[in-house]
A and B are shown apart, each in its own frame.
Chain A
Amino acid sequence: EPEVTQTPSHQVTQMGQEVILRCVPISNHLYFYWYRQILGQKVEFLVSFYNNEISEKSEIFDDQFSVERPDGSNFTLKIRSTKLEDSAMYFCASILYTQYFGPGTRLTVL
């Protein structure tokens, strides 16, 4: 069964550093998403991406965040200058009829 994959599974970084989280969505899916889950809290929408552009973004998705689909298969989330409060689980998802989630990347900002 096709699945969404994410790398790395765990990323540790220093505050102020840039990080890139990578996702490979399911190949025939059209919409791609990033969600965030701070430990112990609910899953929050960050951004959706369709036809090589952002279709919707939340208030969380400020200028420090960007997304890209550089090569037609990978889908990346970049955080330019990480803050302590960016520590969270980041999920990639893609959709045909139902959203399928990747296993997540745990980001720890020290």
Chain B
Amino acid sequence: AQTVTQSQPEMSVQEAETVTLSCTYDTSESDYYLFWYKQPPSRQMILVIRQEAYKQQNATENRFSVNFQKAAKSFSLKISDSQLGDAAMYFCAYRSTLAAGNKLTFGGGTRVLVKP
């Protein structure tokens, strides 16, 4: 079974600065998807960014970018020019392309605090 690990329970960043969140995963599959979801205090799960394992190019979405290292099974999220609205829990997630249900497997989350 796949596992996803987020080793940083909490990260603090100054407004306008950059923060990087770590995520590692364990899988024997060669094709899969990786995601970062943001969960603000409302507890809604909001998709931040998605990466297909077959793509070498790292995904970017505005101020959010990933560093995908397939051999190392690492998938970090960089938030640039941090804003107060970025404060939230961030969850890394894995989805197989093989399993019929294609469920998401989540890491334990990293809380991001943004200091004004």
Closest to B103 in A: A45
Q: A93 to B46, alpha carbons, bound, how many Å?
A: 11
Q: In the complex the two chains form, is A43's CB within 8 Å of B42's CB?
A: no
**Cβ 8 A contact of A56, one of B95, B99, B106:** B99
Interface string of B54-87 (1 = CB under 8 A from A): 0000000000000000000000000000000000
Contact of B43 among A31, A45, A56, A89 (CB under 8 A): A89
The answer on a CB contact under 8 Å between A56 and B47 is no
Q: Is the CB of A50 within 8 A of B101?
A: yes
Question: What residues of chain B have their CB less than 8 Å away from a CB belonging to chain A?
Answer: 35, 37, 42-47, 50, 91, 93, 95, 99-109
Show 12 residue pairs from A and B whose CB-CB distance is below 8 angstroms, ordered by the A residue.
A33-B101, A37-B43, A41-B108, A42-B107, A48-B103, A55-B100, A98-B50, A99-B47, A99-B95, A99-B104, A104-B44, A106-B43
